[in-house]
Structure 1
Amino acid sequence: MTLPTTVFGLPTLPLQSGSPLDPVLAPFYWFLELWSTVMFAVADATGLELLQYAFMHRAILVGLCIGVMAPLIGTFLVHRQLALIGDALAHTAFAGVAIGLFLNGVLELGVSPYLSAVVVAVIAALLIEVISEATDAYNDVSMAIVLSTGFALGTVLISLNAGGLAVGINQYLFGNLSTVSAENAAILLVLFGIIVATVGLTRNQLLYVTFDETAAQVSGLSVSWYNRVMVMLTALVVVGAMQIMGVILVAAMLVVPVAGAAQISKSFTQSLWASVVLAELAVLLGIGVAYYGEATAGGVIVLVAVGIYVLSVVVGKIQTSVGEDKTPELGSIDANESSSD
């Protein structure tokens, strides 16, 4: 397939090369080049310094995708009381990164660490479900086992080849805007498409299983299958967000925006859309502050998200207070009944 070299009269950047995945990711590379070309045009028009660098273009695009993916899955997880599964899968994904770096350093296979992280995280997600079902253990027990095993494996692999793996390992632990390569951004776009398409196709089933698992089972839905779909999607989100959030903070984007949206929303759908908006605000503001303040992006994004959550709590309390003040005016609810509720 031949990709155009100009878009809307603007020249695109040369296609990336050098990776075995290039033929598969070529359309996504072209999209990244289109995005970068547009960002350069915006930089010229606005004079914004952070838009004058290609690595920031990729970081912003990855952040925007994370702002959709994380709350999209996190909304289901929070309502299913699985908020901590993100931490378990993030630490296991770190083991996947270590495996990829180990294979590259020892066997020179040229494997993308983020691609190996995807594979390991998905396997770990399935193991959490299998352990829980096979041993009748609570989900938090299976998550703790997988988390410990994954992080232990990652640290062992790093120690075996400290000279080759320890260099730059902080970028995986804490995230880094400048290390979002074109290949990793392209992989993230693939994950984004898979997650959004899957949720779009299975939303009703996932919603049914989330709020009434027993009724879903009686109605003929394969609850175990949809549970596996959910944890696998969570694994994909975790690996995608790990690029700029890091292993330690990645789970926050699955939970904090959703918790904030719950304070100001009256339905699941409202909560879903509100959480995406809050997550996008946190990501964009966080990236901007991190760039100009020369701080770690993941930490700043989480702090901004927490700040937005606190503001959401205040707004929610005000909404509730105003609603309670207006209730007697309706004339249909007795004051004593209202207080007893």
Structure 2
Amino acid sequence: MDIFTEYFFQRALIGGILIGLTAPLMGVFLVLRRLSMIGDTLAHVSIAGVALGFLINVYPIGVGLLFALLASFAIERLRKAYKTYAELSIAIIMSGGVALATLLFTIGKGFNINVMSYFFGSIYTLDNTDLWVVAGVTVLVVAVIAINYKEMFLMFFDEDAAGVSGLPIRFYNILITMLTALVISVSIKIVGALLVSSLLTIPVACSLLVARSFKNSVFWAVLFSEIAVTLGLIAAGWWDLAPGASIVLALIAMLICILFVKRGLRL
């Protein structure tokens, strides 16, 4: 059977490629802000929203997206309150997200199986509505970054200098967190809440080993991500593997190869 002729695989490939573009774009800025773990936090909050969506019979990804956006505002508010211990905001919101998701699981035991697919990903079940939502988020993320590229570049490399030059630091902090929330919300059905942060961080980790400039690192991060998504989905389709896990393992394999090559060049 040629998997490329199957509509479910074509939808999965399109959704994966779109997320493979947006996730590392956001990941570069998160790594520069030293907020790599924010992906896990927003993913767990999104799962609580998904659970509520099933409970009240409303589009789960839409409710998860709303929860993630609210969590992004809360994180920024807490980061401002705990300036010296900004990482506390992530821990607090993650704890609240896990607690709320657990509570909703106990209330709606009948939909636990459906919600569990969002933990591990179910990219083969993407429908046309899901693809339109993912495509909309992709267009929004790419457009915002393209329009504000210079300002965001300055802010994330030297926030103090950006503030002195008159850039609205708080606005850009909230903006990048909100965009991250959108990306994570639409990604959890593709790679799962437990693996979504991998798409944000591992391509960036690979790019930082080979890139020589910021723009270079963005290019390499997206390239590594797209290669991993494509190879992971093809391998999963041919050998009946878990797609989300295959994508992440492909990324880790690339990271290991790059580390070995760089070590070999130094010897």
1:160 aligns with 2:107: yes
CA positional deviation for 1:137: 5.4
1:122 aligns with 2:69: yes
2:243 to 297, 300, 307: 297
Counterpart amino acid of residue 86 in structure 1: G
Alignment correspondent of 1:194: 140
| Separation in structure 1 between the aligned mates of residue 5 and residue 117 of structure 2, nearest angstrom | 22
What aligned pairs does 1:138-153 form with structure 2 within 5 A after superposition? 138-153=85-100
> Cα deviation per residue 1:173-200 (whole Å; 9 max; x = unaligned)?
0001221111111111111111111111
Counterparts in 2 of 1:137 and 1:127: CA distance versus 1, 3 Å: farther
Q: How many matched pairs? A: 267
Q: Contact conserved, 1:131 with 1:137, CA < 8 A, in 2?
A: no
Alignment correspondent of 1:37: none
Q: Contact conserved, 2:24 with 2:222, CA < 8 A, in 1?
A: yes
1:131 aligns with 2:84: no
Report sequence identity in percent.
34
1:103 aligns with 2:56: yes
CA positional deviation for 1:138: 2.2
Alignment correspondent of 2:184: 238
Q: Contact conserved, 1:285 with 1:301, CA < 8 A, in 2?
A: yes
SS at match of 1:190: helix
Alignment correspondent of 1:13: none
2:262 to 303, 308, 316: 316
What aligned pairs does 1:19-38 form with structure 2 within 5 A after superposition? none
What aligned pairs does 1:35-114 form with structure 2 within 5 A after superposition? 49-104=2-57, 111-114=58-61
CA positional deviation for 1:123: 0.9
| Separation in structure 2 between the aligned mates of residue 86 and residue 177 of structure 1, nearest angstrom | 19
Counterpart amino acid of residue 151 in structure 2: Q
1:285 to 231, 241, 245: 231
CA positional deviation for 1:143: 0.5
Q: Contact conserved, 1:172 with 1:246, CA < 8 A, in 2?
A: yes
| Separation in structure 2 between the aligned mates of residue 254 and residue 288 of structure 1, nearest angstrom | 21
**Larger relative contact order (C-alpha < 8 A, sep ≥ 6)?**
2
| Separation in structure 2 between the aligned mates of residue 274 and residue 318 of structure 1, nearest angstrom | 21
Q: Contact conserved, 1:175 with 1:244, CA < 8 A, in 2?
A: yes
Alignment correspondent of 2:150: 204
> Cα deviation per residue 1:59-108 (whole Å; 9 max; x = unaligned)?
1001101111011110111122111111111111111111111111xxxx
Alignment correspondent of 2:205: 259
Counterpart amino acid of residue 104 in structure 2: L
| Separation in structure 1 between the aligned mates of residue 95 and residue 9 of structure 2, nearest angstrom | 34
What aligned pairs does 1:220-239 form with structure 2 within 5 A after superposition? 220-239=166-185
Q: Contact conserved, 1:68 with 1:279, CA < 8 A, in 2?
A: yes
Counterparts in 2 of 1:152 and 1:137: CA distance versus 1, 3 Å: farther
| Separation in structure 1 between the aligned mates of residue 159 and residue 183 of structure 2, nearest angstrom | 23
CA positional deviation for 1:318: 4.7
| Separation in structure 1 between the aligned mates of residue 12 and residue 22 of structure 2, nearest angstrom | 15
Q: Which runs of 5+ in 1 are unaligned?
A: 1-47, 105-110, 323-341
